[in-house]
Every structure is written in C-alpha cells, then in structure tokens.
Structure 1
Amino acid sequence: MAFIKPSPFSPLLTLLLFILSSLLIPAHSVEFAVGDKDGWRIPSSKADDFYNEWASKQRFQVNDTVRFVYKKDSVLVVNDTEYRKCHSVQPIFFSNNGDTEYTLDRPGLFYFISGVSGHCERGQKMIIKVLEPQSEPSPPAGGSGASKAGMIGASLIVSQIVIALLGFFFS
C-alpha cells in the first residue's frame, strides 16, 4: 500500500484553508416562531400574558428574526406608550400578510401588538428584550431556535475538520 507523502507546505495550506473557511461562514442568527405551535392569536382568557411568558423563555440576539403566523390579523411594532395603550396611529412596522418575519436589528426592547381592534386588550401583545452583543453569541435557552443554533455550530466544526484533512492529504 502506497502512502501519500505530504509536502512541507501542507501545514501552512491546512492552516490557510481553516482560516478561510472560518471567514466564509456568516455569523448565525435564529428564527423564532412566535408562540411556537400556537402562532399569533388571542390567548385564552386564562393566559392573557401568554406571549410575554413565551418571550421571557427565549434568548434573543441582534439579527435574530421573529416569525408571526396568523389568520385575519396583523402585527404592529410600536413604542412603549402605544404598547401600554394598545393603540397606534403610526406604528414603526405594520404587516397583515399572515406570515410576517421581523428582524431584531438592535439590542433593547421591542413592543409588538395586534392591530385588530380588541385583540391587544385581550392579551395579543408582547415585549421582546434583545441582548447586547457578546464576544461569543449564546444560543437561545430552549424553544424553537436552540436546535438550529446547535446544528449550525456542529456543521461549522465538521466542515472545518474536513477542509483541514483535505488540505493535509492533497497538498
């Protein structure tokens, strides 16, 4: 059986390929399905704080997205005052397409309400807190996004190992 003798440049090429693969893979973001399987709807009378409880169990980072799935409703991003009043004349963002994605583009608080009359007053509203960026992004603490973040990290490691091995054996 013949062995391939690596050239003296193999370690350098392997290191170069490893660095390039790290730079080409974009930073991850997570998409959260608001309300998980329940979607965006009026919560039951016993769970009028349903969406704030759901949001408090997630770890939102800058550039994550929240996805609202609903029928005959709407999503408004509003300020704190409009959130407390459950009413907005000029929302920051409005959508009524039934499948709305909104990117959390900064750290801080985001206020969401339903634009259908009476829905916000019955609990269809939510505050999301987006964490300050960290040197190492933390995956969400459970919920719909945790498995996606883990899979992205695992695929990054596997791809870098494969590239390093290819660089070692074929240089």
Structure 2
Amino acid sequence: MTDDRRTVLRGRYLSLGLGELFAALVFVWVAFVSMLPLLEQPTDALAFWSALVPLLVILVQAGVYWLAARRWVKQGTMPPGLAATYRGFRVLDAVLLLAGLVGIIVWFPAHPFAAIGIPFVWLLGVIEYVNYFVVRLAYPPSVWFKRIGEWRTPRLMQDVRAAQRS
C-alpha cells in the first residue's frame, strides 16, 4: 500500500474518531440542555441514563479505536493488548445494553415524549454496537441498500481478529 493511500486512510480514521467523540459530547449536551429539564419524575431520568450511558460508552470506545487505528493502518496490526481490551468491550457493551434495557423497563417514563425518545436512544446504542462488533451497517447513502446485504465484518473486528492471528 502506498504512503498516499495510508495518508488518506489516516485522515478518514481521524475524521471518524473525532466524529464519534463529538457525537458523544453532543448527546451529553442535548441530555443536559434539552432532555433532562423535560423529565418530571426522578425515575424518568434514571430510565434516560439507562438508555444513554451504553450509547456514550460505545461512541467513546469507537472514537478511541479510530484514533488508535491511525498508528497501524496498512502498516501492521492492532496491538494484542488493545485487541484483548476490545474483545472485553464487546462483552461489556452487550451487558451494558441489557442492563440499560432493564433500567428502561423498571423505570419506564410516564411522559409520552420520554416514553418514545428513551427507547429510541437505547436503540441507537444497539445499532452502534452492531455496527462495531457484529456487522457493518455504516455505508454512504448512495450505496447503502446495495452494501448492507453483504454482511461485512466491521473494521474493528477485522483488526481484533488480525491481532489474534499475529
């Protein structure tokens, strides 16, 4: 792979990493500015955090992955220790999503807007989890319908598996 291609990928990974971290910050900002003031019951806030925390954790992990991957893209493999960490994150994130779902059910919000919005936030976390650990879901809109049926392995999991083999 040429240095030019590596440079392009490093730029893309920088954009993806910063984008995921920025998305996490935006979700936190929206939570404090827009969502939490609308929630009338303390249990509504607990349900909201049950949905949001798993999403934030996954977004931050993804952002850190993309930024770290800039070091080895087209030149090597993910460090074995980092690969083991992300294998652990795969399990931890599934547990967090399950715990979040339980929290939403236990503290199901009374406010109609929250009753729709909170499960939606949790579902975004599930989609991010699937996209990073199960099957790639993120494609450009122009090719999304064509590529989604290919069931590609996410880049993160390709890197984790390559590190195991080396």
When the two structures are superposed, what TM-score results if normalisation uses the length of structure 1? 0.26
Structure whose CA Rg is larger: 1
More helix by share: 2
When the two structures are superposed, what TM-score results if normalisation uses the length of structure 2? 0.26
